[in-house]
A and B are shown apart, each in its own frame.
Chain A
């Protein structure tokens, strides 16, 4: 019964949408995390307040509600978004808020003496951040960024609610068409797990490359 190769094709299409959402979501979350995280450390009161408001708002409300706002409420004030755009926007801003705290705490974890060396060498605040503090902080951020990216991957399934045909959505389709629950959802499980493992592996590789030499051995 049923054409399983066709169903597998459906699921793979769904996986492609999920990957697309994850990649674009991360592409938005990363710069947003840096902007808000560094904003939290700004010399200017207004910038700090703005960054804090953004972070608290997106961490304090659910991704589900944020997605509905992006897709159903923004059009009411003139911003018409495709489901994909709405999904990327909600996911990127939501995970960006978590990433911002990662950026902030990583920069703060770099010892005061590094900052003081920058002052003594007459670097500007921005130069010190760009060439001394951020490169060291980035190594600290990578593992948590990996977790954030996996959280984002898992959160992509909410977009099936605005009828984006992602992996979870397609699994529902296959289930309703075949009457089989175990097979499509087992497939979904395996695919999500494979994607998450790929992210983990990528992050570990990156971390290993970035920490070269810090232990005193030039590889």
Chain B
């Protein structure tokens, strides 16, 4: 039996007196495509940021690919992870942000080659060859020598995806990667995501408000509300036959807002 690649076990996190993640538990299997949906402020972004080690948790444990994320075993006891451990763990995970976060002072090609050269010691020529393949894949090879400021939002996001892929992570996190885009640019990014979904065995977690995309893309959907998962299941069940009252209300609102599911 295969083990989960991500295991979140009774995780709690607060900002001051506000609890964002409440005793959260879920697992993700290797290669699984998981969609995280739910109302604003329900903690979806926070859980992705936590997996990327951009946030720390207050209690509970997270295991990624067989290792503790924020802990290490020392003489049979769990102690807080040091920087070297976090560095090893981050190598397994990549993240794409809502606002792209490209490096504005570097060309498209340099954005993609920087991390492999620095973190894996890949030689420049090899990094560039690999980067061009990835840029080709996301349809951005023609802009390899452009600066990010010269690109549209959709183009920026496709470069950001290539940049994250260049490190060959086993797990990719996508946080509302189309929310900041003009409507006509959304599809070009979703197409890249679809291709990744069908052509790679990466584990993918995506937070999205694009319900019809989540429906087609995901193997499983988690519905978040106020820091908890209140319903989960295959997209067919969640979207067409939600059982939880809050899921129903949420989906009704989405449909009322004009989205097709």
**Residues of A at under 8 Å CB distance from B?**
113-114, 116-117, 119-125, 127, 131-132, 135-136, 139, 213-218
Contacts and interface: CB of A to CB of B under 8 A. Distances in A.
A114 B147 contact: no
A25 B146 CA distance: 39
B163 interface: yes
B97 interface: yes
B56 interface: no
Contacts of B107: 213, 218
Nearest to A120: B95
A128 to B, nearest CB: 9
Given A122-B119, A213-B147, A214-B149, A117 B97 contact: yes
Contacts of A116: 52, 54, 97, 101
B91 interface: yes
A117 B103 CA distance: 8
Contacts of B163: 121
A123 B102 CA distance: 14
Category for how many chain B residues contact A: 20 to 34
Given A120-B95, A121-B163, A218 B150 contact: yes
B116 to A, nearest CB: 9
29 contacts: A113-B99, A114-B101, A114-B103, A117-B97, A117-B102, A119-B53, A119-B54, A120-B54, A121-B163, A121-B164, A122-B91, A122-B115, A122-B167, A123-B115, A123-B119, A125-B83, A127-B118, A131-B118, A132-B114, A136-B103, A213-B147, A214-B147, A214-B149, A216-B150, A217-B147, A218-B107, A218-B145, A218-B146, A218-B150
Contacts of A124: 87
Contacts of A122: 87, 90-91, 115, 119, 167
B105 interface: yes
A132 B150 CA distance: 19
A122 B87 CA distance: 6
A138 to B, nearest CB: 9
